[in-house]
Amino acid sequence: MIIGAALLVGATVVILGACVLLILAVVAVRARRHSRTQRDEMLLSPLRPPLITVASGEDDDGAAAEQLTWATGVSRTVLDRNIVEMLTKIRGVPAEQLVHVLEVHGAVDAAVVEMSSRSTVKRARAAQLLGLARAGHTVPLLVEALGDEAVEVRNSAAYALGLIGDPAAAGPVLAAIGAPERGLPAATAAEALQSMGVGISEVLRDGMADPNARTRMVAAHLSGERSFTRGLPELRALLDADPDLTVRETSATAIGRLGRSEDVGILVRHTVPSEPLALRRACVIALDDLGEAEAIPALAVLLDDSDPRLAELAATALLSMGPDGRDALAGHENDPAVRSARLLAGLQKASA
């Protein structure tokens, strides 16, 4: 016999025992969630009326906020958690009052301490709290956390820096995207940088020369979103020669948003059939966004392109360029691309 009876019995007992344990685990997880929800609800219920008063901006004399500062023990922990959640949704005086409650509770100071906790979750939540409390003095601490070993902490630190909005943090945030092994997700970095005002344009220019493609893409994208015209030379260079197609497409879109008449030639250069189709289309859309009349002859040539979508995009762009653009459609009235573009423009106009 290959398997001994004792081994078989032992293995069966282990498997069945593990099954029972897992069933108990399912029950325990659910029961714990249920009891914690009930406990939190019970602890929070006396504090809910003043909390709502403050959050809704009706605490003119500050009495409700004062009442919230009296919370102690577990009630205070539960209250602080709810305040942090509320701070993600409210602004202005109510937010300032709630931040004051957190400060009185010592939650902001505790968060500074927890930034060096061994628990990833505690470090991440502490970073978020510092951001929500707009604790400007903790920017160096948060910048340091951009290099944390846990992505959750890096994410939370970038989020907090975005909330604080200090442009001095823009460089480290952008650089963190391409950090080897400990990169910051591009989406979080982009959202944080978006909140840092106009003082980040130079940082974005530098970012467009970064060796990391994600960093260049975020920098190019934000330069377009925020209309930082000083980044135009870098955007043109990326469109021309970046090895990454996504970066080139992003640069074309950005140039469409903030470019000038001299950018028509650059965009047109990348609408030729030898370029990737996705880039050609992005450039035609950018020419449409740019709206410069110099693009009309090149767009008219594209009406005969073998790609029907490109031809339709060119027709749409020409239709939006006034009488000269519409004149360029002469001789193409029966082309499907032109008829389609006209029809869609007509529908949009009628519904406007």
Partner 1 sequence: MSWDGFVEGLRSFVLWSMDVTAVPIIVYFILINTSLLVLIVLAYLEFRAQQRRRSTAVSWQGAGLAPGVSLLVPAYNEEAGIVMAVKSFLTLRYPRHEVVVVDDGSSDQTFARLEEAFDLVQVPRELPHEVPIRAKVLGIFVPRDGRTRLVVVRKENSGRSEAINVAINAASEPLVAMIDGDSILEPDGLLHVTRPFADDPTRMVATGGAIRPVNGSRVVSGRIVRVEMPQTWIPRIQLVEYLRAFLLGRTGWSRLGSLILISGAFGLFRRDVVVEVGGLDPNSIGEDFELVMRIHKRLRDEGREYSIEFVPEPVSWTEVPVTAKVLRNQRRRWHRGLWETLWAYRSMLFRPKYGRIGWLALPYYWLFELFAPLLELFGIIIVPLALALGIVNVPFAILFLVLAYGYAVLVTLSAMVVDEWAFHKHDRWRAIWQTIAASILENIGYRQATVWWRLEGWWSSLRGKKHVWGVMTRTGFDEDPA
Which CB atom, from 53 or from 215, has the smaller least distance to partner 1? 215
Q: How far is the CB of 109 from partner 1 (least distance, A)?
A: 20
Which CB atom, from 221 or from 264, has the smaller least distance to partner 1? 221
Q: How far is the CB of 235 from partner 1 (least distance, A)?
A: 17
Q: How far is the CB of 214 from partner 1 (least distance, A)?
A: 5
- Distance from chain centroid for Cα 325: 37
Distance CA 294, CA 105 (A): 63
Q: How far is the CB of 60 from partner 1 (least distance, A)?
A: 29
Which CB atom, from 67 or from 128, has the smaller least distance to partner 1? 128
Which CB atom, from 173 or from 264, has the smaller least distance to partner 1? 173
Distance CA 212, CA 218 (A): 10
Which CB atom, from 298 or from 311, has the smaller least distance to partner 1? 311
Which CB atom, from 177 or from 264, has the smaller least distance to partner 1? 177
Radius of gyration of the chain (CA): 29
Which CB atom, from 67 or from 250, has the smaller least distance to partner 1? 250
Q: How far is the CB of 48 from partner 1 (least distance, A)?
A: 23
Q: How far is the CB of 285 from partner 1 (least distance, A)?
A: 10
* Burial status of residue 250 (CB atoms within 10 A of its CB: 0-12, 13-18, 19 or more): buried
Residue ranges that bind partner 1, judged by CB under 8 A: 2-3, 5, 8-9, 11-12, 15-16, 18-19, 22-23, 25-27, 29-30, 33, 88, 120-121, 124-125, 128, 150-153, 155-156, 159, 185-188, 190-191, 194, 213-214, 217-218, 221-222, 225, 244-247, 276-278, 307-309, 312, 336-337, 339-340, 343-344, 346-352
Q: How far is the CB of 334 from partner 1 (least distance, A)?
A: 9
